[in-house]
Structure 1
Amino acid sequence: MSTLDTSGRVIKGWDTSVEEGWDKSISWRTLAISTFSLTLGFCVWFLVSAIAPKLNEIGFQLSASQLYWLAAIPGLSGGCIRLIYMFMPPLIGTRKMVGFTSLLFLIPMAGWGFAVTNPDTPYWWLLVLAAMTGIGGGCFSGYMPSTGYFFPKRMSGTALGLQAGIGNFGVSLIQLMAPWLMGFTLLGIGFVAPQRTQGDTDIWVHNVAFFFIPWAILASILAFVFLKDVPVTANFKQQLDIFGNKNTWILTIIYIMTFGAFSGFSAQYALLVNKTFGAASEFAHTYNPADLPKGATFAFLAPLIGSSVRAAWGPLCDKFGGAIWTFICGVGMTISTIVAGYFLKPSSPDDFWWYLGAMLVMFFFGGLGNAGTFKQMPMILPPRQAGGVIGWTAAIASFGPFFVGIALSSMDAQLFYYCCAGFFAFATALTWIYYARPNAPFPG
């Protein structure tokens, strides 16, 4: 007879290894609310990448290096915060973690909303605000392990794929909505004066930050009212046992290839396009800048594809296993990154379209690999360790925006792409040797 008791804030007798030990309605409700909050979190995390390309148009005077750093700092802070969040689920539970985190989103959103209204805002304060947005990416390492506790292994690919994929959609959402939101005043915040571009056009850059504030408040209310905790507990020391498992380190390398590339190239994409093909490129001297590609116009496409594939591929990972899809991802990412790198020495602005196509292919395979690796972890590791490894790998990979930003500000972009391709090939080889080949030691 089942001992499951769901009447309290902490569920008693929760055990997803037996059918009568878990409640599907609670599991899916938890997935829905935490995914809603996570999507907003990714909007917060990539807020700077959506705003940065417009800063110099509204009176700021920032160099290309300073802009790259601004877009890179959220990756650094997000990764550091993930190292904290990976320990959160067994310590404070799902309900408090999602509820309080949603409220924390308000700080960077309000901060950026007011900062962009004054072009005299000091650069050091912009860097601080950029670091604050890291909370949006950092919570991923708590939300994903927590969700893993609510579903059996046979459904882990679907559940984690949906949460990560829809959550990652926040990257595309903020980049897609930003140009639209900047175009008009919003009801209730019309008292904030618009900024004026160099072309004497009114633009409401602050809208991008202010728009998401009420949604974050709603996410917090939903979490505190409807979420429950499962009886998975462990102190800090107990959770460190994941570092004695070699799969932790192998999967970290692989996830840097998939999510590290997704987050890193997404954050820097608009700035790189502007510098290589757009108004900040050498082509601006011989072409009408208005006719050149604008990074902000296309920035949403890449993460949209990666996120969609990640969400959609979960059921296929449950059916065929995650390892084979991760391997296919690695092959595809290696080839497409080499092709994209080739077009970073353009002979004309028309080369942008080849570059864009190669990047979209790369993001497709990145989404495939993200779904595959998150299916592998619950299959290879016991539940608590799987949660810890999910949090750890996500933390390290989230430094992607920081390292990609630093690399692009300090070295040739084409060389960097070729270096990335070499790393992807190495990670793909590890996937084949340990997980994907026939008779692999750790199939999953």
Structure 2
Amino acid sequence: MTVTATDSAQSDRTLLDTWNPENEDLWAAGGRRIARRNLVLSILSEHIGFSVWSLWSVLVLFLGPAYHVDAAGKFLLTSVPTLVGSVLRLPYSFAVTRFGGRNWTVFSALILLVPCALAAFLVKPGVSYSTLLVLAAITGVGGGNFASSMTNINAFYPDRLKGWALGLNAGGGNIGVAAVQLVGLAVLAWSGKGHPGLVAGIYLPLIVVAAVGSALYMDNLPNRRAEKGAIREVAKRGDTWIISVLYIGTFGSFIGFGFAFGQVLQVQFKHDFATPIDAAYLTFLGPLLGSLSRPIGGRLADRFGGARVSLATFAAMAVGAAVVLAASRAASLAVFVTGFVLLFVFSGVGNGSVYKMIPGLFADQAEATARRLSGALIGLAGAVGAFGGVLVNLAFRQSFLSTKNGDAAYLTFLVFYALCAALTWAAFLRRRAVVLRHQAV
């Protein structure tokens, strides 16, 4: 018997109308295929969103003397999109349940055309610094895509696979940070510093492809409704704010370092780089490895528990920060880059493990309630964590303004990671922790 495309679509619609990924019969009957299809398109759209969000981590490399922007001004340009993106994550996470996962993915992709088109035509010598700040702020819309994408995919996968699925979704998106830096490197190598608009322009057709693909092949979940009060409910839980602080340490570090790494290299090791291209050859490595390690963190958390993996991650990140601090004081570029790569890799692992902890916090709730509260917490933690990227860039800005190097910032990061490790142990792993919570995470 031949199964037609119409039959397949009708079967998918039936499954979606009664969607419950915890139902093993539904999952085997086609649920796995539907979830995988939505995951692939979600990763593509989120990947481009991250690239657009990170656009100014590359564009600042083009801002030579003709733009009259000093190092402090460049750190501010990379802070603004991070701030806007963090603020947008909350409304974006709830937009999925209000408008549907497919519908919102299409919209959130198409709106990326605005910052890319503006940057493509307006970034040139003579542009005012205030205009650059506005352009940087508009790219913040790319940061909201993560929250809506993660909330959407969270509803498509059963609890036993959420760590891997969310890690893969986020990791594929995070690679956008490295991808835009490779695009910037290619433009610098091909046309030099005189054409920054090309970096943004390259993404215009890719955005259209992502939007069309999402419109054709993604799905809305008909049985999902926007639940009022979910954010207020999760905000009353102490676990919510602990998870949010931990996410500042992992994702805040990843996105903050992703925006700042190229600038830090150029400012602190300016005598080691003859041109911005030389620094750009190194800047993509950390974000790339950090993105690839995120699904690994999710997989490890599925096996060993999110809290255990997170504790080990923060300990490793503290070591990485110590290596960076020592390398900075010794003026060793090779050790400095090695330490930063460690920070990127373990921040990626921690991103996956911390997010894995979220569904487990609601394991004692009914399935529908757990899904609703998990989605709200994903949005809230994502917003707070992204704000950590702002703090990273501001820490670098203040450190370089005050001491002409980043040592104060590196020491601050080291102390914060140690505190996050202690918080993870105290809240989720100590012997007198609630048994249910211990098992959930």
Normalised to the residue count of structure 1, the TM-score between the two structures is 0.88
- For 1:56, the equivalent position in structure 2 comes to 64
Where does residue 327 of structure 2 map in the other structure? Answer: 343
Shift of 1:113: 0.9
CA contact (8 A) 1:74 1:401 kept: no
Q: Is structure 2 residue 18 aligned with structure 1 residue 13? A: yes
1:51 shift after superposition: 1.2
Q: What CA distance in whole angstroms lies between the structure 2 residues aligned with 1:134 and 1:291? A: 28
The 1:40–1:158 alpha-carbon spacing in structure 2 relative to 1, beyond 3 Å, is same
1:192-242 CA distance string (max 9 Å, x none): xx6x75xxxxx4322211111111101111111111122221334344211
Task: Give the residue type in structure 2 aligned to 1:233.
Answer: R
| Aligned equivalents of 1:10, 1:160: Cα separation in 2 | 22
- C-alpha contact (below 8 Å) 2:81/2:137 kept by paired residues: yes
- Superposed, 1:301-380 pairs within 5 Å as 301-346=285-330, 348=331, 351-380=332-361
Conserved? CA contact 1:269–1:295, under 8 Å:
no
Matches within 5 A, 1:230-245: 230=221, 231-245=223-237
**Number of residue pairs aligned between Structure 1 and Structure 2:** 413
In structure 1, C-alpha distance between the alignment counterparts of 2:352 and 2:249, rounded to whole Å? 13
Give the structure 2 partner of residue 218 of structure 1: 209
TM-superposed CA distance for 1:292, in Å, is: 10
Pick closer, same or farther for the CA change 1:175–1:243 going to 2, 3 Å. Answer: same
Q: Partner residue of 1:189?
A: none
Residues 1:68 and 2:52 aligned together: no
Residue in structure 1 matching 2:251, options 251, 259, 262: 259
Aligned to 2:256, the other structure's residue is in SS state helix
Distance 1:55 1:10 in 2: 52
Alpha-carbon shift at residue 168 of structure 1 (Å) = 0.3
* Structure 1 position 383, deviation (Å): 1.6
Q: Which residue of 2 aligns with 1:300?
A: 284
5 Å-filtered alignment, 1:38-437, equals 38-56=46-64, 59-116=66-123, 118-184=124-190, 203-230=194-221, 231-278=223-270, 284=271, 290=274, 294-346=278-330, 348=331, 351-381=332-362, 382-411=370-399, 412=403, 413-437=406-430
Q: Deviations over 1:363-390 (max 9, x none)?
A: 1211111111111111222221111111
Aligned letter for 1:207? L
Structure 2: gaps (5+ residues)? 1-8, 363-369
Question: Does structure 1 retain, via aligned residues, the 8 Å contact 2:86–2:384?
Answer: yes
1:232 counterpart SS class:
coil
Gaps of 5+ in 1: 185-193, 198-202, 279-283
RMSD of aligned residue pairs (Cα, Å): 2.2
For the 8 Å contact 1:10–1:229, the answer to whether it is kept is: no
Matched letter for residue 307 of structure 1: S
- Determine the C-alpha separation between the residues in 2 that align with 1:204 and 1:327: 44
Residue 311 of structure 1 aligns to a residue in which SS?
helix
Q: State which drifts further: 301-310 or 289-298.
A: 289-298
Which AA in structure 1 matches 2:268? T
Distance 1:378 1:21 in 2: 21
Q: Quick one: which amino acid aligns to residue 36 of structure 1?
A: L
Distance (Å, rounded) in 2 between the aligned partners of 1:407 and 1:9 = 52
Deviations 1:131-163 (Å, cap 9, x if unpaired)?
111111112111101100000000001100100
Matches of 1:410 and 1:140, distance apart in 2: 28
Q: Which region of structure 1 is more displaced relative to structure 2, 136-145 or 97-106? A: 136-145
Contact 2:230/2:376 (8 A) holds in 1: no
Q: Letter of the aligned partner of 1:301 in structure 2?
A: L
Q: Percent identity?
A: 30
**Partner Cα distance (1:238, 1:219) in 2:** 30
Q: Which moved more, 1:267-276 or 1:376-385?
A: 376-385
Distance 1:78 1:292 in 2: 26
**Aligned letter for 1:391?**
G
- Whole-angstrom distance in 1 between the partners of 2:15 and 2:352: 30
Q: Residues 153, 51 of structure 1: CA spacing in aligned structure 2 closer, same or farther, 3 A cutoff?
A: same
* Conserved 8 A contact 1:144-1:164: yes
Scaled by the length of structure 2, the TM-score of the pair is 0.88
Q: Are the counterparts in 1 of residues 295 and 349 from structure 2 also a CA contact under 8 Å?
A: no
Partner of 2:3: none
Larger CA deviation: 7-16 vs 419-428: 7-16
User: For 2:117 and 2:276, how far apart are their aligned partners in 1?
Assistant: 33
| Aligned-pair CA distance for 1:183 | 3.6
* Contact 1:105–1:216, Cα closer than 8 Å, also in 2: yes
Query: What does the per-residue CA deviation read over 1:230-266, in whole Å, with 9 as the maximum and x for residues that have no partner?
Result: 2221334344211122110110111111111111111
Q: 1:264 to 1:434 in 2, by over 3 A?
A: same
* 8 Å Cα contact 1:5/1:11 also seen in 2: no
For residues 291 and 95 of structure 1, the distance between their equivalents in structure 2, rounded to whole angstroms, comes to: 43
Quote the Cα distance in structure 1 between the aligned partners of 2:57 and 2:275: 22
